[in-house]
Structure 1
């Protein structure tokens, strides 16, 4: 069982790393600026893979009544917002910056649980939320590559995450690089979601949070080497503050589980 859990965790980390790096490559290096088409391509690939997985018996899809489908419509709209706004933000922001801003969604979820569900929140989790907010709040003032559009779409993205619990003419050589990368992005996006579900079903919340944190760290670190990212000492301080906040969140999750 321990080997299986480790294998699922490593698979998740690999999919997480590959998915973010591939998306960043398509959106930034290849300068693909049509997130709606990008989203449609990912949804098509994901839908086909989901159908194949269902036929092979890897996943179970229960038929739902129309009323059940209507209940999921708001979540579907938020999911579209997550992909669209996330694509816009990721094309303009460095991956470490994007992930630090993305972590604010945890604060929204924590606030909702405390205010509306009246869940008891540990001091460690409260401190974690404050550190994540501080890190994200300081970034716009210390980011040497500050892009207002990127931050705007990142805010829309994290709000959607928190609330949810165009054909082009390409040069000949560019055509294969683009479609290969987009296809890889669709496959990796599906397997990332699939491995995330397996991770959450198999591991305790604290262990799951630890694997997610580890995936973010290696993704952010490797992205600095692969993409053009200018990190000043102030920006690095904000990113480290965010990492400290998320590490504290992992500690609080492991302690409560």
Structure 2
């Protein structure tokens, strides 16, 4: 079982890394910035692969009533916002910057759980949220490649992500069809989604959070070597602060599980 969990974790990290790097290459290097086409391609490829997986017995798809489908419509709109805004932001921002801004969605979720669900929040999780918020808030003032449009779309992206997970009941399976780009991205987006579902089902929340954190670290680090990114000492400080915040989040999840 331990070996199986490790293989699932490594598969997730590989899909996460490959998906982001492929999307960034097509969006930034090839300048293919048509989010609507991304969404259509991901939906087509993801739907076909999901159907094949269902036929092979790899995933279980239960029939849903019309009322359930109607209840998913608000989340579907947010999902479109995630793809569209995420594609716009990723085409203009460096991957480490994008991931640091993306992590603010965790702050939205934490705030919703604390204020509306009245859930008990550990000091480590509160500190994590503050660090993530501080890192994202300082980035625009220290980013030597500051792009106002990129930050604007990143803000829309993280608001959609935060609202989707904190407010609405939407099938987890559909979220991980990340902003698609080319044929490879369509398949990678599906396998990222599939490996994430497996990761969530086999591992405890703390272990899952640790694998996601590790995937983000290696993706951000490798992207600096592959794509043009000017990182000043102040920008690096913001990124490290964000990493510290997410590390605290992993610690709080492991402690709570």
Which category describes the TM-score, using the shorter chain as reference length? over 0.9
Check 1:100–1:68 CA distance in 2 against 1; reply closer, same or farther (3 A cut). same
Structure 1 residues 134 and 180 mapped into 2: Cα distance closer, same or farther (>3 Å)? closer
Distance verdict in 2 for CA 1:73–1:17, change over 3 Å:
same
Gaps of 5+ in 2: none
**Deviation per residue, 1:214-235 (Å, 9 max, x gap):** 0000000000000000000000
Distance (whole Å) between structure 1 residues aligned to residue 200 and residue 173 of structure 2:
41
Q: After superposition, what is the alpha-carbon deviation per residue over 1:197-216, rounded to whole angstroms, capped at 9, x for unaligned?
A: 11011000000000000000
The verdict on how the C-alpha distance between 1:240 and 1:178 changes in structure 2, with shifts beyond 3 A counting, is closer
Tell me the C-alpha RMSD between the 2 structures: 7.3
Q: Is the 8 A contact 1:34 1:166 kept in 2?
A: no
1:37–1:166 contact (8 Å) kept in structure 2: no
Offset from partner CA, 1:18-56 (integer Å, 9 cap, x none): 000000011000001211112211111111111111111
- 1:171 to partner: Cα distance: 40
| Aligned 8 A contact 1:30 1:178 in 2 | no
Shift in Å, 1:178: 17
1:82-97 counterparts in 2 under 5 A?
82-97=82-97
Contact map agreement 1:207 1:254 (CA 8 A) in 2? yes
Residues 180 and 146 (structure 1), Cα distance of their counterparts in 2 relative to 1, 3 Å cut: closer
Find the residue that maps to 2:181 and give its secondary structure.
helix
Report the CA distance shift for 1:105/1:176 in structure 2 as closer, same or farther (over 3 A). Answer: closer
Mark the CA change 1:242 to 1:166 in structure 2 (over 3 Å): closer, same or farther: closer
Q: CA deviation at 1:77?
A: 0.9
Deviation at 1:140, TM superposition (A): 0.2
Is the radius of gyration larger for structure 1 or structure 2?
A: 1
Q: Distance in 1 between matches of 2:45 and 2:78?
A: 20
Q: Secondary structure at the match of 1:179?
A: coil
Query: Per-residue CA shift, 1:72-131, capped at 9, x if unaligned?
Result: 111111111111110000000000000000000000000001111110000000000000
Contact 2:39 2:84 in 1 (8 A): yes
After TM superposition, the score normalised by the length of structure 2 is 0.94
Residues 178/191 of structure 1: CA separation in 2 closer, same or farther (3 Å cut): closer
- Residues 86 and 179 of structure 2 are in contact (CA less than 8 Å); yes or no, is this contact kept in structure 1? no
- Post-superposition, which runs of at least 4 consecutive aligned residues in structure 1 deviate over 6 A? 166-181
Length-normalised TM-score, structure 1:
0.94
CA distance in 2, matches of 1:166, 1:6: 29
**Unaligned 5+ runs, structure 1:** none
